[in-house]
Chains A and B, each alone.
Chain A
Amino acid sequence: MLKINNLHVMVDDKLILKGIDLEINQGEIHAIMGPNGSGKSTLAKVLAGHPKYQITEGSIEFFDGQEYINLAELEIHERAKSGIFLGFQYPTEIPGISNLGFLRESVNNVWKAQGKKLLGKDDFIDFLHPIMDILEMKELFLDRSINEGFSGGEKKKNEILQLMILDPKLAILDETDSGLDIDALKVVAEGINRFKRPFNSTILITHYQRLLDHIIPDFIHVLGDGKIIRSGTKDLALELELKGYNWTGVGK
């Protein structure tokens, strides 16, 4: 599904990722943990194609359903169409555009590229409702401007709503658990667990163990100073929780 080889990434002339190797297969959940500044969000943004993040060395290959493609060659919107989704740590507020209009524009563009049949406005709303119910989102969400005036929890639910309707091959969820209370965390985790099926994969970026109480990862990687310094299974998270990042030798 995804092969990252010796990835080096620079932001504003500063090298942040210094040689990441990571392979993710279909159906797997990989959690990426690590202290602040270790490069977790940089990895997420470079996968989605943020223009500020420059790949200086190495490669990212992504299986688009037929063949492995060089992700760096795709525009941001083309990555979304080929099945990559980034759940934002800080979803941006965009005034004046209704959430419904935006969701429909997004789904229409992605589905059209994937050869799926598009839905009329009423059918689209019918399609959204059961998913919004799972996420305990009220109808009002659709009429408001994108993320404008949303609480932290509402913003994250809006991200998971987009994840569930776009149903990508690879979801990269950047600190989806931050800013959530216990109830919202459960609801968001439920959404992510429903998304997880044998043919799609997830990268969970998180600072804390608590999301992993609800979503069981297949692998855990610890990032420190732009490199993966340890990999393991879910027990690694518990060890981290007990001993802190210092124990890995990369803490503050």
Chain B
Amino acid sequence: MNRQFLVNGLLSITAVSMMTGCVDDKYDLNDIDTTSRFTVDNLTVPINLSEIKLDNVINLSDNENIEKLVDGNGNEYYAIVKGGAIAPTAFNLGSIHVNSPELKQSNFHVSLPGNVNVPGVEIDLDPIALPESPLQNYSFDMNNVNAALKQLKNVKTASPIRLEVVLSVPQELAGGSNRISFRDLKIQLPWGLMTDMDGYDVNTGLLSISELPVDGAGKARLVMDASGLDLDDKGVVADGHLGISGQVGIVDGYIKMNLKDLALSGGIDIKADYSISAFDIASFSGDIDYNMDAIHIDPISLSDLPDFLDSPETNLIIADPQILVSIKNPVGNRNLEGKGRITLTSDFKTGTRVPYSSDVFSLVGEESRLAFCTGKTGYTYVAFDGLRNVLSNGDSGLPSKVEVDIDDINFKGYVEDFPLGNLGNAEGEYEFNAPLGFGNGSVVVYETTEGDWGSEDLDDVHIRKIHLTAKCTTDLPVGLQLSVVPVDKEGNAIPVKEDSAKFSVPAHCVDSDVALDIEALDGTTISGFDGVRFRAVVKQDSGNTEPLGPNLNITLSDLRVTVDGYFEKEL
């Protein structure tokens, strides 16, 4: 063999070996595209959830409108509870003042039989009849009488009505040894005076006095006090006015004179003065028909309801609403019964206002406890058929507020010695209680978007399908339909296959199969999502009005989530 050949060959191979780097320019390790895809291949994730209490899902502990109450069996339940004070509203009949009537002086002349000259001799004249004198009219005018006063049978005054009749004889007849008196007087006074004076006829007003002596000043004074007026059937008030009228004057009588050392001729002039004091009516007996101003209670604000009740699509028919009212009757101690009704006016965000009124209730006694639409020990039941609809108006959602009024308040009847003036206030407390039990036809829609996840890693996630299955056991009294839709950064729903992404849970179900599919449209993936939008619809059509409570539970067993997709990113 050719040694040189071998040597040259080996040297050549060596030379080639030393330059043996073979360059493959398809590779560039200085510039590697690190885009990588990490696949999740129909991965089923077993999720073990313990029993879910409704209290864990709905956090109502900070909501001022929702409370946990306890029923008769010791079970807790949620209720919308609003309450407050019923503002004081006065029962006021005002006052009645009667001015003193104007009465003029009347004069009459008594003729003597011949001349009377009795110097130093006592002469006992026979009684001389008083001449007729015209009676004069008087009137008691009661103005601005409260419209509630319909007919006054009698009125009593705050202080006595004082009547004075003064009969005056000439001064020279009085005094000394002379003795003058009026006898068998019949004086016409106002009728109806309530007085203890003997000889007064309340019906006619005629006062008979057997003897009224004249004093040393020549005056025969009659004073009579009356505590009120007995108006019988003449006390009808019309247009706030009641006028009582009649006549006063001397009707009949005699004057008896026993004179000494006196010379008279012709006759004597007698003057009669009358006065009746003004008076204020303190109380009355009669018919009253008092309409109290409507009591406006602070509206029930529903602006802070939990989110799940706040949708405009929510139509909530309350299964067992209740209103409890405790109201003080300011005239209950005077046996005057009142009546009224409670009206709730729902003010919806659309501008619609819908009133609902209860049946008429009675206010009996000094305090009345009323239970509307429910029975409760110690309370009087009052029907209120519309109460269950007070939060419902089709598709307007819940009202933003509910105005509460107690109106059509009326006190009517016959009263005795019923005082005028401000007799006190109607006031009290109310409580609106709506257990969250849904009547048939109720729809609660809750839609929320959990978004703004804003993660850069999410931008790189691409999902073909999410499949969720579970067995659901629940004692919720209402059925639930839940739909889930992914949303992008702008909050727009990302299109998925129709009729996917929703599942239903029937009420009171045991091991009910639940399945949810969120599947991208054919040939696409769910990408660029930034959150999910949940829409829960609760419908009540089973008639089960059991209210929601914190201890109601949902159990999802055998929960499996299967995900198919990938994460693609430049590392």
Q: Do A and B truly interact?
A: no
Interface residues of chain A, those whose CB is within 8 Å of chain B, are: none
Interface residues of chain B, those whose CB is within 8 Å of chain A, are: none
